[in-house]
Amino acid sequence: MAARPLDIDTAWELVLSAVDRSNVTLPFPGTETPAVRINGQGSWNLMQPATHEAQSLLSVFLPLCRPLPDNAQLNVIGQLGQSLDGRIATVTGRSRFINGDDGITHLHRIRAVSDAVIVGAGTALTDNPRLTVRRTHGRNPVRVVIDRHRRVPDSHHLFTDGEAPTLRLISGTYSKPPHAEVPPGVTDVPCLGRPEDDAPVDPAHILEVLADYGLRKIFVEGGGVTVSAFLNAGLLNRLHVMVAPMIIGSGRPAFSLPEIDLLDDALRPRAQLVNLGSDMLFDLDFSGT
């Protein structure tokens, strides 16, 4: 029996050791004492007392670690960090920092359990993000930017820092890569049709391209236009909305979906609410909706 209840740092180590595993008992790191049992259907049981924060972390992240049984299956999670009034940035595009420290750590944790992290050209251009795991342990995902018109400068971090491979999805006709693996460095992937096309590319096609590169656990990190396109296409298995106690009153909206008249037509996924500290997390489960 462990002397102390399982804390949040230990819970995170357990999450990392649970990636792509099922039907296993995970011990406390560095011991043989059983801590968590992961069952075949993605359910899990705690085998030791744990703090409230540790239990919340396990309940949010263990479903994301489940192995995908069949080669064709993908797991796609979206996120947005928004103010109380549903904004993800000011009118001029400033979004640093709507979410507090705990929300940012949460974002890095989602990256750490994902094969790939996707951002739209708007986010890559405005924020110049690194999309790496810096606030916690874990590996960096492959970085993917949807940039049909090559609007994002070559000097931005994604293309220069060498911290993780980057796929730049651009206009052009797609041909499947010879091997299901991502080369190191920056790879331009023509797959988004003609440059003069304005209509959004079907996000399902983007997922097929990523699957051809062996990427199956996909994190759609932003911004609002990109996450909304995946949500509208019914391609998100889960969505993490982090709400900060802040009112901006104007600015870029989180979600933009086709207009509806009746609230019966609104999306009502199963929801788990988790107090992250600085932000409130809505962990939304769209499987089965």
Ligand X SMILES: NC(=O)c1ccc[n+]([C@@H]2O[C@H](COP(=O)([O-])OP(=O)(O)OC[C@H]3O[C@@H](n4cnc5c(N)ncnc54)[C@H](OP(=O)(O)O)[C@@H]3O)[C@@H](O)[C@H]2O)c1
Does residue 152 belong to the site contacting ligand X (CB under 6 A)?
A: no
How far apart CA 153 and CA 2 sit, in angstroms, is: 52
Stretch that binds ligand X, among 16-24, 28-36, 89-97, 180-188 (CB under 6 A): 89-97
Toward ligand X, which CB reaches closer, 80 or 110?
80
Least distance (Å) between residue 102 CB and ligand X: 14
Which residue has 């070559």 as its token pair? 154
Q: How far is CA 100 from the centre of its chain?
A: 18
Does residue 127 belong to the site contacting ligand X (CB under 6 A)?
A: yes
Stretch that binds ligand X, among 21-29, 133-141, 145-153, 270-278 (CB under 6 A): 145-153
Does residue 146 belong to the site contacting ligand X (CB under 6 A)?
A: yes
Backbone phi, psi, residue 277, to 5°: 115, -80
Least distance (Å) between residue 267 CB and ligand X: 18
Least distance (Å) between residue 15 CB and ligand X: 22
Least distance (Å) between residue 151 CB and ligand X: 5
Does residue 123 belong to the site contacting ligand X (CB under 6 A)?
A: yes
Least distance (Å) between residue 104 CB and ligand X: 10
Toward ligand X, which CB reaches closer, 37 or 108?
108
Q: Which of 29, 37, 38, 22 is nearest to 7 (CA)?
A: 29
Q: Which of residues 62-81 bind ligand X (CB under 6 A)?
A: 80-81
Does residue 252 belong to the site contacting ligand X (CB under 6 A)?
A: yes
The answer to whether 80 and 242 are in contact (CB under 8 A) is: yes
Per-residue mark of binding to ligand X, 181-220 (x: CB under 6 A): -----------x-------xx-x-----------------
Q: Which of 151, 179, 268, 270 binds ligand X (CB under 6 A)?
A: 151
Residues of this chain that interact with ligand X (CB under 6 A) are: 80-81, 88-89, 93, 95, 98, 119-123, 126-127, 146, 148-149, 151, 192, 200-201, 203, 221-226, 229, 252
